[in-house]
A and B are shown apart, each in its own frame.
Chain A
Amino acid sequence: MIRTGGYLLGFSVKRRATRRKAIVVYWCFCVWFCSLIITRGFETQGTVSFLICLFLCFSIIAGELGGIRANGAVKRFEGLRHRERRPTFQTLLKNEPLDAEGTVRTSDPMDEREEKIRDHAHFDAFKFSRRLSLLLLVCFVFLDMSHTQNLLHIAQAFLFGIALTMWSLPQTLILWSEPDMEPADEGSGEAQA
Chain B
Amino acid sequence: MVISWPKMLGGTWSNGMIRAFDGHEPKNDGTDDYSFMTPEDIKARKALERLKRIDERDVNIRNSAHYRAYSALRWIVPAGLFLLIAEPYRRHPFLVPAIYVLLLLVVSGLPQSILLWTEPDMEPADEGSAEVQA
The answer on a CB contact under 8 Å between B81 and A163 is: yes
Expressed in whole angstroms, the Cα–Cα distance for A108 and B105 within the complex equals 36
Expressed in whole angstroms, the Cα–Cα distance for A155 and B12 within the complex equals 26
Q: Which residues 74-89 in B have Cβ within 8 Å of A in the complex?
A: 74, 77-78, 80-82, 84-87
Question: How many of chain A's residues have a CB under 8 angstroms from any CB in B?
Answer: 38
The answer to the question of A88 belonging to the interface, with a C-beta cut-off of 8 Å to chain B, is: no
Chain B residue at smallest Cβ distance from A159: B81
Q: Closest approach, in angstroms, between the C-beta of B70 and any C-beta of chain A?
A: 5
The answer to the question of B97 belonging to the interface, with a C-beta cut-off of 8 Å to chain A, is: yes
The range of chain B's interface size is 35 or more
Q: Of the 9-residue stretches A14-22, A89-97, A120-128, A185-193, which lies at the interface with chain B?
A: A120-128
Q: Closest approach, in angstroms, between the C-beta of B90 and any C-beta of chain A?
A: 7
Residues on B facing A (Cβ under 8 Å): 2-3, 12, 21, 60, 62-64, 66-67, 69-71, 73-74, 77-78, 80-82, 84-87, 90, 93, 96-97, 99-101, 103-104, 107-108, 111
Please name 28 pairs of A and B residues whose Cβ atoms are closer than 8 Å in the assembled complex, sorted by A.
A46-B85, A46-B90, A50-B82, A50-B85, A118-B67, A119-B63, A119-B66, A119-B67, A122-B67, A126-B111, A129-B70, A130-B12, A133-B104, A133-B107, A137-B101, A140-B97, A141-B97, A151-B93, A152-B84, A152-B96, A156-B84, A159-B81, A159-B84, A159-B100, A159-B103, A163-B77, A166-B70, A170-B70
Residues on A facing B (Cβ under 8 Å): 42, 46-47, 50, 54, 57, 68, 77, 116, 118-120, 122-123, 125-127, 129-130, 133-134, 136-137, 140-141, 144, 151-152, 155-156, 158-160, 162-163, 166-167, 170
